[in-house]
Each structure stands twice: as structure tokens, then as C-alpha cells.
């Protein structure tokens, strides 16, 4: 283990080996990385543990500097563990460069099937006794991390002291189609709110989309900017300052040259940084799989359901006069044609989309009998997670207390500093 210091914090790197397939503990093993954080003044104390499960899927745990965001509040009473979930960050990575070590697309898809919430929770239960001596710990789950925490309540509640969920109460039974059928109207509301705030962006977005349709520019790094790819910048609209970020991105899209107006280098660079999945390919590969349970395949649900909402059709929009509607947290087959980080994984993605043997993730009977203190922040009209789905799940988990708020967007646990964590801890303890 290696320890080092940030202002007011001592950090320690941990590595663990766990089975790739927890059903075959004698089989292949993979590495997990986790970073421990403890207040400098409390290094030698026997503190309870809090494990943070990042959103995604496919993102390594957030690297805070010092006591940023909610961490300062957590360090008042916890020793905190930031886990790079399997396949992400410094844990054994899964991406276009490493997956060929597994074999062809079939072998790659089989490997990726072991990277869902159920395996992540088994990982947590494997490493928990090594750190806590067997004591249960508190879980803070953001977004997809909340999905993992909900599975944790279903599968191993004995390992939990408290569960805190921010923007991540999943539907217990919605199909991928139902998830996206609920998502597109929410995305539309976010787009309409953005245009109401920045009406000048209506013309800007149409002009950029038309340029993309005519020229199919190749962004730095090789990303092909089609109208559909441009629409996916709507992913920004789910964050607290996302509308402002999108406006700043669009305002300097074009520059005059001897050959006429072209997309500026600055615009292209910034767009590439938002759209590329190079740093988190599992987000694209497994996004629909996080909703898939017993039953049929996910089958590119976001693409299929999008056809039910004509306002998101870029071709029809550009042929008419209405505003261009951005999309949001949805993955489509064309992502695996436009993004160089995903192109080699297209067949693997197709196999995952066709897979039908996904196990159930949630146990309604066990959740109905829950005895673990649980508190959840549900963000009103959250673009990424359907509010009604979340509230239905909240009613299905015995004893869960909700804080429904429109003060924050999906990134409230980060943007709200210590306030969100403080509120949830009070709710879980019956103090608020």
C-alpha cells in the first residue's frame, strides 16, 4: 500500500484480486483498485467505513483534490473508500485496446457480461471484510452507483450499515424500452428549457447540424460528427450548469476562412472531448445492459424507441423549420461507427444487445422486508433517471426515506458540496 497526502487528507492506494466470475472462484481473477481517504487528524482512529460507488456505468471513482464536494463532510466521521468498479480506472481495464486479449467479439461480450451491478456488489462484499474486519459499511451510490446500492440491498444487506443514494433509484422491473420511453419526454423538456433560456441557440444548433449533414467533419482524434452525434451533446443538459456549458460550446462554432465558414478548431476540440468514449467505453457498451433483466434482449432500445418521438429525427427537423432536439443519455448503433474508441467493438456491442440471459438484479420481496436504513435524493425531473420510476422503487423498499428536490440536477451530490450528504445522513438516522 502507498500513502500520500492532500490538504487535510491522507490517501492510501489499495489493490485487491477478485474472481472475474464470482460463481467460479477458482477461475480467472482480476484486479480492483481503490483509494482510501481519511482526515489527517484521524488517521489512527478506528472509524466506520463509507464506500463510494460512482455513476456510469464505466467511470472510475472520482478523484477529489483535498476535501472537495461532499468528501469533507464524510471525513468528519468516516474512512472513505473510492472504488474503481471492475473494468474502470486502475482496476483491470476493459476497452478497445485490452478486450482483444479475451479473443473475438463473442469472448469479449462474455467478459463484459461480468461487469454489471451484481458482480460489482460481489466485489464489494469480497473486499469489505479485508478492510472493516467484517463490520458492515455505509454505501454512497451516485446514479448507476445507486443502482448498485439497490442491488446490494437485494443481495447482501448484511454487509450494509446504511445506504445513501443520490439520483440513482432504479426501476425494479422496467424494461429497457420502458426506460427510454420515459426518458425522451424528459430530455425534450430539458431541451425546451435550454432554448427558452438561450433562444439564440435554436439557429446555432440548426446551422451546426446542417453543416454536419453536408460535410461529416472529422473531429480531432477521428470522431465523425454526424447530425445524430451533434444531437448527443444534450448529455450536458442533465447537469446543474449543463445548459450554460452547451451555450458556451455553441456560441463560437464557426470561423470565417478563405474557403468560407467552417467549424472552428476550438469548437471541434471541445465537442470531441464531450462526445468521445475513449475514457469510458463501458458506458456505451453496457448502458442498456444495466436495465436488462430476465427476459428479452435490450436490442438497442434507445434507438428503437427514438422512432416513436419524431421531434428527435434530425433529418426531418432539418427538412423543416422547427428547433433541433438534442438527445441525452442514450446509446445508439451509430456510436460504434462514429467514435474511434468504439468502432472496433461494434460486433461485441451487437452481441451484448442481443443477449437474453441477464439475471434479475433486484429482489422485491427482500426489499419489502428491508431493515437497513436507506435515504435517497430524488431530483425532480432528473434527465438521467426517471423520477416516477425512482419514487415507485422508494415505496417498494421498506423504511426508505426520500428527499425530492428541484434545487439540484443529477450532479447534486457534487455540486451541492456537503449539503446533500449531510441531509441524507440526517434522513437515514431519523434526524431530518
3-state secondary structure 251-277: CCCEEEECCEEEECHHHHHHHHHHHCC
- What is the pLDDT at residue 134? 97
pLDDT in tens, 192-210: 999 999 999 999 999 999 9
Answer yes or no: 410 catalytic: yes
- What is the pLDDT at residue 345? 98
pTM of the model: 0.96
Supply the DSSP symbol for 343: G
Specify whether the CB–CB gap between 251 and 265 falls below 8 A: no
Distances (CA, A) of 279 to 59, 94, 111, 266, 289: 8, 11, 19, 20, 19
Distance of CA 222 to the CA centre of its chain: 24
Of the candidates 151, 332, 389, 410, the residue annotated as catalytic is 410
Specify whether the CB–CB gap between 317 and 188 falls below 8 A: no
Closest CA to 416 of 137, 91, 71: 71
- What is the pLDDT at residue 294? 85
Spatial CB neighbours of 259, under 8 Å, sequence gap ≥ 6: none
Specify whether the CB–CB gap between 14 and 33 falls below 8 A: yes
Distance CA 240, CA 409 (A): 5
Distance CA 189, CA 202 (A): 15
pLDDT tens digit at each of 432 positions of the chain = 789 899 999 999 999 999 999 999 999 999 999 999 999 999 999 999 999 999 999 999 999 999 999 999 999 999 999 999 999 999 999 999 999 999 999 999 999 999 999 999 999 999 999 999 999 999 999 999 999 999 999 999 999 999 999 999 999 999 999 999 999 999 999 999 999 999 999 999 999 999 999 999 999 999 999 999 999 999 999 999 999 999 999 999 999 999 999 999 999 999 999 999 999 999 999 999 999 998 789 999 999 999 999 999 999 999 999 999 999 889 999 999 999 999 999 999 999 999 999 999 999 999 999 999 999 999 999 999 999 999 999 999 999 999 999 999 999 999 998 999 999 999 999 996
What is the grid cell recorded at 395? Answer: 415505496
Answer yes or no: 357 catalytic: yes
Helix (H) or strand (E) holding 129: helix 117-132
Distance CA 189, CA 226 (A): 23
Q: The dihedral of CA 405, 328, 330, 178: what is its sign?
A: positive
Gap between the terminal Cα atoms of the chain: 39
- What is the pLDDT at residue 4? 87
pLDDT in tens, 392-431: 999 999 999 999 999 999 999 999 989 999 999 999 999 9
Distance CA 152, CA 172 (A): 13
Distance CA 145, CA 150 (A): 9
184, 171, 283, 358 alpha-carbon torsion, rounded to 10°? -120
Q: Provide the β-strand partners of residue 412.
A: none
Of the candidates 111, 114, 118, 143, the residue annotated as catalytic is 143
Spatial CB neighbours of 279, under 8 Å, sequence gap ≥ 6: none
Alpha helices, H only, 297-386: 301-306, 314-319, 335-338, 346-354, 364-368
Answer yes or no: 143 catalytic: yes
- What domains are defined for the chain? 2-173+362-428 (3.40.50.1820), 176-354 (no CATH)
Q: Provide the β-strand partners of residue 36.
A: 12, 81
Specify whether the CB–CB gap between 303 and 333 falls below 8 A: yes
User: 245: buried, middle or exposed (CB in 10 Å: 19+, 13-18, 0-12)?
Assistant: middle
Q: How many CB atoms lie within 10 A of CB 294?
A: 11
Q: Which residue has the cell 432500445?
A: 301
Distance CA 343, CA 36 (A): 36
Amino acid at each position: 500500500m502507498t500513502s500520500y497526502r492532500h490538504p487535510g487528507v491522507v490517501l492510501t492506494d489499495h489493490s485487491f484480486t477478485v474472481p472475474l466470475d464470482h460463481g467460479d472462484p477458482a477461475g480467472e481473477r482480476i484486479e480492483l483498485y481503490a483509494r482510501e481517504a481519511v482526515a489527517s487528524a484521524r488517521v489512527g482512529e478506528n472509524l466506520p467505513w463509507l464506500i463510494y460507488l460512482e455513476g456510469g456505468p464505466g467511470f472510475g471513482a472520482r478523484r477529489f483534490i483535498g476535501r472537495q464536494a461532499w468528501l469533507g463532510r464524510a471525513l468528519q466521521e468516516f474512512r472513505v473508500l473510492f472504488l474503481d468498479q471492475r473494468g474502470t480506472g486502475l482496476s483491470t481495464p476493459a476497452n478497445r485496446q485490452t478486450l482483444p486479449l479475451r479473443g473475438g467479439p463473442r469472448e469479449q461480450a462474455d467478459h463484459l457480461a461480468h461487469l454489471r451491478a451484481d458482480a460489482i456488489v460481489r466485489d464489494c462484499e469480497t473486499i469489505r471484510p479485508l478492510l472493516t474486519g467484517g463490520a458492515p459499511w455505509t454505501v454512497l451510490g451516485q446514479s448507476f452507483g445507486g443502482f448498485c446500492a439497490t442491488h446490494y440491498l437485494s443481495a447482501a444487506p448484511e454487509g450494509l450499515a446504511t445506504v445513501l443514494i443520490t439520483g440513482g433509484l432504479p426501476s425494479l422491473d422496467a424494461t429497457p424500452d420502458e426506460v427510454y420511453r420515459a426518458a425522451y419526454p424528459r430530455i425534450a423538456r430539458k431541451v425546451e428549457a435550454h432554448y427558452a433560456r438561450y433562444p439564440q441557440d435554436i439557429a446555432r444548433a440548426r446551422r451546426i447540424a446542417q453543416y454536419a449533414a453536408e460535410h461529416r467533419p472529422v473531429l480531432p482524434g477521428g470522431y465523425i460528427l454526424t447530425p445524430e452525434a451533434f444531437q448527443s451533446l444534450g448529455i450536458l443538459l442533465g447537469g446543474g450548469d449543463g445548459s450554460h456549458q452547451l451555450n458556451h460550446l455553441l456560441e463560437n462554432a464557426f470561423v470565417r476562412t478563405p474557403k468560407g465558414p467552417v467549424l472552428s478548431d476550438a469548437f471541434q476540440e471541445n465537442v470531441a472531448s464531450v462526445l468521445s468514449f475513449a475514457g469510458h467505453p463501458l458506458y456505451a457498451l453496457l448502458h442498456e445492459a444495466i436495465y436488462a433483466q430476465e427476459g428479452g434482449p435490450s436490442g438497442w432500445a434507445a434507438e428503437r424507441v427514438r422512432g416513436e418521438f419524431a421531434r428527435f429525427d434530425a433529418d426531418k427537423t432539418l427538412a423543416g423549420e422547427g428547433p433541433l432536439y438534442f438527445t441525452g443519455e442514450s446509446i445508439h448503433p451509430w456510436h460504434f461507427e462514429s467514435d474511434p474508441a468504439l468502432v472496433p467493438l461494434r460486433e461485441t456491442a451487437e452481441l451484448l444487445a442481443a443477449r437474453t440471459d441477464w439475471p434479475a438484479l433486484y429482489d422485491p420481496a427482500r426489499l419489502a422486508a428491508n431493515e437497513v436504513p436507506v435515504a435517497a435524493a430524488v431530483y425532480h425531473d432528473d434527465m438521467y433517471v426517471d423520477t416516477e420510476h425512482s419514487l415507485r422503487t422508494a415505496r417498494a423498499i421498506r423504511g426508505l426515506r426520500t428527499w425530492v428536490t428541484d434545487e439540484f440536477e443529477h450532479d447534486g451530490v457534487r455540486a451541492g458540496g456537503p449539503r446533500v450528504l449531510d441531509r441524507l445522513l440526517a434522513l437515514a438516522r431519523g434526524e431530518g
